[in-house]
Each structure stands twice: as C-alpha cells, then as structure tokens.
Chains A and B, each alone.
Chain A
C-alpha cells in the first residue's frame, strides 16, 4: 500500500489522491478542452465537424470515465469524504484558478465575443467557427457566441448530471430530479429554440419564465411574437400564463423546487457542475440578511424595468389597441397594490418586521416611480428611458450578476450565488413558497444530533440545523428543494414534504422524547 499523505490539524488538507484511472480520465477530458483552447487561439481546424466531435466527445468521455471510477464499485451512499481537503472543492489554490478562468470566460463571452471569433462582417473564426457545423445541423445557421455557450452549458449539465446521478444513486429523489433538469436543458433550453429558428419561428424556450427571462416582454421580442402569427401569440400567451397561472399553482402544490431544482437551467448547472461547491455557501445570519435585501431589490428592478419597457412599447390611443400606456400603468400599479394588500391582510402574522418594512418600502418606491412618471408625462422612468433601463439591467444583472459572479465564482462562494442573492424568479417563487405553499421540510421528532451536515451541504446557505435541532419545520423562501440536506442527514431527520397548510410553520420547541407535559409547559411559556 502506498504511503499516505498527511498533514492536518483540524483545518488542513489530507489525502485526496486521484487514482490512475482518474488521472487518465482527467487527461482525456483536458485534451478535449485543449482543442477548444486551440480554437480560441485561432487554430483553424481542417475538418471542423471531426474536431468538434472529438473535443466534446473527449470532454464527455473523460468526465464519464472519471465518475465511473470514482463512484461505481463503491457502496451506494454519501460521498463527501475529503470534500474540504481537496483544493478544488475546499477553496484552495485550484479553486481560485478555476474561478478566475470561469470569470474571464464570462467576461469575454458577454463583452468581447470578437475574441471568440465573432465577426461583425464575414464568417465566424476561432472557437465559434468550430461550432458552425453543429449549429448548421440543428438550426441551419452559423453559430454565435451564445450557441457555443449553450452547447457547452448543456454538455456540462449532461455530463456532470451523469456524475451527480452516480454519486447519489442511492437516492431516487436526486436521480429523478437530475434526469428532469437534464431533460429540460437539452430539450427545452437547447434544442427546441434552435429548431424553432430552423422553422422560421421566434427563438423561444417555454421553461425560461419572466422575470428570469427579462427580455420576454421587450419590444423586439413582442414584435417577433406578433409577426409570427398564431404560434407567436401562443408563445406570448404561454409566457403570461406561466408567470400568472402555472407558476402559482405548481409552487402552491410542490414549493419552488418544481422550477428551481427540476426545470431551471441556472439551477440545473448549479446542481450538476456546481455540486462539488455546494458546501461553500455562507450560512451566517448576516448573509441571510444581505440575501433578502439584494434579491428583492433585483425583483423591484426587473419589475420597474419591465413596466418601463412595456410602457414605451404601448401606444397612447385606445383606438389602436385597448391596452394603452395609461391603462397599463394604472393596471400595473393596481395589481401590485392588490398583491401587497392580499399579503398584508392574510399573511402579516407570518412576516418578520423587516419583511414588512421592506415590502412597504418597495411598494412606495414602485408606486412613486410610476406616479412621477405619469405626472411628469415625459415617458421616462427613473429619468431614464425604458430601454436604457433594460440595458443597464442586462449589463448589471443579466450578465455581471448571473454569469460572471453567479457561475464564475462557483468554486469560491458556492454554486447558488445567483439563485440565492440575485434571481428575481426565485424571489417571486420564494415569496409564494413562504406564504402560499404546501411544501416544507419536516424534522423527525427528536432525532436531530445537531451534527451540521444539513447546513454545511445546503447550497442556499440555509442553516437547516437551526430548525432541525428545535424540531421546527423548515419553511424558507430560499429553499430550492434540492433534497441534499435530507440525503446527507446521518440520522434520518429531514424529509421534503407537501402537506396541508395548517401547522406548517411551527416555531415551538417540539422535540420528541421528553415528558409530554413538560414540553407543553415549555411551549406555553415561550408564547
């Protein structure tokens, strides 16, 4: 037996050696990646189809061989040995290198696509041209930087999804959920829109719902829908139905997990490629406070932006179309006030003080923006035009936050930074999950031993243990229902459940095991 590497106090690293097969597999994958790097460096491959296939094939093969060697032949069960010892998953040297590489990739992708080979006039070069054959094959058009990104993104979800499934093959919830995100990424996010393009229809992914898809109600998109005839109208209608009908129903029944960890592409990447980094999320109460302010501010931003964009799109005269600027503006104001009123009337007891202040503050901000705009009559919101606002949103939130920080910083801040602090869709679903949903994570009587596996492996930074050790249900707006807390619990304490709304939020000490009368006494006094 080989000598074992060691050096650790309670925090240092320890053995995390790769097997020969794993080294070989890493090599294979890196060769595939190297082909892409060469393409970025403008190496003009003779047979692009061959080299693209080779590249993607080697990356996939490397990952699959690696995962097989890592997990198959071992017992089914939790596989977190050495997570904090490994450089890559324990915020070590390689984590920083990977983080920087990913960040640079996103910066180039969003703001300097010419370095990837996107040429304003003339054919693609570089890595984008390498993807031309695949793009031609699917949509009939040459590739763009977004096609390259989409392909790599989908590949990552598929191959790391495979790895995830092997890792958690003892847990059917995880296996089925992962098949679901793989399916929605491949079918809905990647192939369907490209095929629609081939059929001369608008680019449309039905699983990408407003406000995550913040462009859905912009003028160019609406014009595209309207000019596409019936199918375009159906798409537009489905977009509206998704956010106003389907989303509330499914979230009521299953919690926000139906979207965030079963359908969404951002969640899909976080759950698969991001899985090795889930433990890096910040669990402190301070981080939770920041989270609540930031994510809801993004939601307000996207709401104002969308209202502004639609406002400038609509006409003034009711003769052209019943939905005029005025009708829309007052309708939006009325709808938001109505939502606010419903929550305050029926659910105010379940809201913390700062949540109430926040809600009131945000409503005042939105309404005053709307009325300033209305009474000043210049058609600008925030003194900017709607489209300027949209551009800022796209730059700050759509690109910098969700891409550069959200994914680029996986190895440093964990895999769900965007979903936790930024995603306005998650904010809407979360609000509903907290207030109007049957979903909760229940804790099993008195079995919790406060070990902390649940909190450590919560990618959303929820301190699950804080609830479990009191016997309290976990009803948190940020919970995406990934189910990992339940999986890693060594004592069978946590279970994701959908049940009646009554008694869902229980803030009493309800640990089982002790004298029943005593616990009644404890609870009476804490009231």
Chain B
C-alpha cells in the first residue's frame, strides 16, 4: 500500500490528508512536533483571552483520525533523505515514504535586532509561542509590539484583556498600510488607539535592552526613545519554516519552490501552504500566501493529484479573498484593492460617521471595471463578489446591487443607499 507522509498538521497538511482519504485507501501519516491534534492556529488568541479552551480549537474530535485511518505521529523531523525516501526523526527513529508532502508552515521573522533572543522577546505563531506568552506575561505590566500586521493587532487585543499596557510600533503611517489603502488604514489606526493602545506610526525598533537577568527591560526606537517593557512581541511578518531543508537537494528560495502542480524539484515530494513558494503564480496571486485559505486550497488541490493516477491537477486559486478582525471591526476583502493605487486604479471610499464601518471599492480608471472591495464592519457575501469579479462587472453594477451582497444579521441597519448616494456625489465632484 502506498504510504503518503505529510509533515505538518496545520490546515494545509490536514486538508490534504482528509481529501486523500476521500479518494484513496493509501496509508496516510501526518507528522507534527507541535501538537497531538490539528487545531485552528487562527484561534490561538481566543484561548489566551479566555473565550475558549484548548480543546475548542480542535475542529475534529479526537476519534476522527482513527476512524478515517489518518495516522498521527508526534515527532520532530530532523533530516530528510530524499534519495532513500526516508525521514529521520530527532528520536533517531526513521520512516519510509512513497510520497512526501511538506506542509511545515511559517515561523516569525527576526531581522537581526540586538537583543532579539532575550527572554521576554517572542512572536506568536505556534502553540509553544502561546504557552511561552503565558509565561512571559505572568508579571508583565507593559509590552511593546513591533510590526503592524494581523498578528500584531491580535497580540495587542490579547494583551489588553490582561490589563497589560501596549505600545505598538508600526513602520507605516497607519496600521497595515502596506495592504490597506490609507483611509482604511487610518480608520483602523484610530480604532486601535480607541482601545487604549499606544500606537506609534512611522516608528521602528532599533534594539532591545536586557536587564541584569538577561530579560528584556526596554526597547529603543529608531528615534532613540527608550520604552520600558517586560514583553516584546515580534510581529513583523512570517517566513516559510524550511531551515531544516536548507542544505538538501530540495530547491528553495524564500520558501520551497514548487511548480503549478505543487511539486518540488524532487519527484514525489510536494510542498503546500505557508512553506511553499510558487515558481509561477497566477497573475492575481502572490508566490507565497501565508494565509489559512491558501493552505486549505492547496491541500484540496494536491490531494487530487496524489490520488488520481496520471492526472495532475494544477493549483489555480480563484479570486483573492481574505478576512480579519481588528479589535471590534471585522474586515473582509474580495478581489484586489491596492494599498497605493497606481494611475489605472481608482478608489471609492465610504465611511460611516461612527468610524467602525467603511468600504473601499477599487475599479479600473478607464473601463470602470470592478477590481475589488475592502469592507469593514459590514459583512458581505463571498459568493456574490466572487461572481461579480468573475463576470468582470463594472463598479456601477456593484454599487447598484450592493444590497444583494449584504451578509449582516437580520434587522441590521443597511447602508447601501447612503453608500450609493455618496458615490454619486463624489463622481460629480470628480
């Protein structure tokens, strides 16, 4: 019986395993050193905040794996001997595979700052990071978070629930402005500040200072200011977790390089999820997409290739979408809205006066083609926007039919008329 081994029990690896099982009776082993069972990484924050317990993070009950004959192995892979198709574990055990799927995920970035390895300095990606955070915040009164991305704002929210003062350093002039257009970014910045977070725009970390015990005592910003703190959160993005593969025959760049079939340069070895890097991504997608959804879709796709003989299926993700929550403001995006639009991309921005709801719609300056939407505080229907994007609808159509896309709960106030009016007025001005 063919033995498919998957390294990594995150969303990519587990989705792949589940879909393989749907099609095939192959022996499936999923290896992880992080946790006994698959859990939702995106929900780590809720355990720290007391919304959920660890067991709630597990999307499948523990009996699920045995029932579906997916073997789970808790072990750390030290080396892979590709020629012998053998894994070597840190325990000196070995394991043979016929096909290998690498789904090792991400680790957080460290950019060589002075003091980055001190006690009390950490990122937040893994279960172990969360456990460390519990330890590090035991007697913590003040924290500094470096980097204005999704994990940074989550960490800020988490720490605020423990009454820890938070200073949040971001490089851009507003939160996540490398992804969000400026009005969106500014609204979120204000919202973060309204939660009592000391958000410092255009401020970067220079170095981290230790106390006599080798723990973090303070940080110094690039403007020379010293900020006292007992915790430093490193949230300046993540990178593929591939260090253990660096000196092997496997072709890597930032991530493990894969072709359109998610296959590496070595036969029968594949890479999916955060750790993979597409050699030729589709025009509307990036080579590395470290998001839940991409991991899931790669898992779905690869499972087909692995189980259909002679029928390789290329990874062809559809229109881009993503979501997040910034404290109380939910964010969804469909299609592409540039943070800094060029001449060919126009933006229409509407914001509610309470500054918790806004939309930004991107459209082609010449053809009026709808390119994408950011929506804050108003839920939108994925299927409707997906259809409009695929049908190349124009912005007029989108705005005239916006109500169809509303996904807010019943009885919520609707803003479509307001949005439509605002759009017309802005057009007349322009």
Contact residues of A with B, CB < 8 Å? Answer: 1, 3-4, 6-11, 14-16, 75-78, 80-86, 90, 170-173, 176, 284-285, 444-447, 449-453, 455-456, 465-466, 469, 483, 486-488, 490-492, 495-497, 509, 511-516, 518-519, 521-522, 525-526
Contact = CB atoms under 8 A, between A and B. Distances in A.
B325 interface: yes
A302 B189 CA distance: 58
Contacts of B138: 6-7
B107 interface: no
23 contacts: A1-B141, A8-B134, A77-B327, A172-B411, A173-B411, A176-B411, A285-B61, A444-B381, A447-B382, A449-B42, A452-B46, A453-B46, A453-B51, A456-B52, A483-B410, A488-B51, A491-B323, A491-B332, A495-B408, A513-B321, A514-B300, A515-B315, A515-B318
B162 A490 contact: no
Given A85-B50, A513-B293, A496 B410 contact: yes
A495 B410 CA distance: 8
Most chain A CB neighbours (cut-off 10 Å) among B11, B327, B408: B408
A451 to B, nearest CB: 4
A518 B411 contact: no
Contacts of B379: 444, 492, 495
A465 B328 contact: no
Contacts of A446: 293, 296-297, 321, 382
Given A10-B134, A82-B161, A515-B301, A449 B409 contact: no
Contact of B330 (A176, A469, A491, A495): A491
Interface string B316-346: 1111010111011010100000000000000
B412 interface: yes
Contact of B43 (A6, A452, A519): A452
B42 A518 contact: no
B293 A483 contact: no
Given A10-B130, A81-B49, A496-B409, A449 B19 contact: no
Contact of A451 (B40, B161, B381): B40
Most chain B CB neighbours (cut-off 10 Å) among A11, A81, A487: A81
A487 B318 contact: no
A512 B409 contact: no
A173 B410 contact: yes
B257 to A, nearest CB: 21
Nearest to B382: A445
Given A75-B195, A444-B381, A449 B43 contact: yes
Contacts of A444: 379, 381-383, 407
Interface in B12-30: 19, 22-23
A497 B406 CA distance: 12
A48 B228 CA distance: 60
Contacts of A3: 139, 141
Please report whether the interface of chain A is mostly helix, strand, loop or mixed according to DSSP: loop
Contacts of B332: 447, 491-492
A415 to B, nearest CB: 17
B71 interface: no
Interface in B374-413: 379-383, 386, 407-413
Interface of B: 11, 19, 22-23, 40, 42-43, 46-47, 49-54, 56-59, 61, 130-131, 134, 137-141, 161-165, 194-195, 292-293, 296-297, 300-301, 304, 313-319, 321, 323-325, 327-328, 330, 332, 356, 379-383, 386, 407-413
B52 A518 contact: no
B163 A452 contact: no
Given A6-B137, A76-B328, A514-B318, A81 B50 contact: yes
Nearest to A483: B409
B409 A173 contact: yes
A483 B412 CA distance: 13
Contacts of B19: 522
B43 A453 contact: yes
B60 to A, nearest CB: 8
Contact of B316 (A83, A455, A518, A525): A518
Contacts of B130: 10
A9 B138 CA distance: 10
Nearest to B383: A445
Contacts of A77: 327-328
B61 A284 contact: yes
Given A10-B53, A446-B321, 19 more contacts: A6-B134, A9-B131, A10-B47, A10-B54, A75-B327, A77-B328, A80-B50, A85-B50, A172-B411, A444-B382, A450-B42, A450-B43, A452-B46, A453-B51, A456-B52, A466-B59, A488-B51, A512-B321, A512-B382
Nearest to B316: A515
Contacts of A173: 409-412
Nearest to B320: A513
A30 to B, nearest CB: 25
B365 to A, nearest CB: 27
B316 A453 contact: no
Given A446-B293, A514-B300, A4 B141 contact: yes
B426 to A, nearest CB: 26
A495 B304 contact: no
Nearest to B406: A495
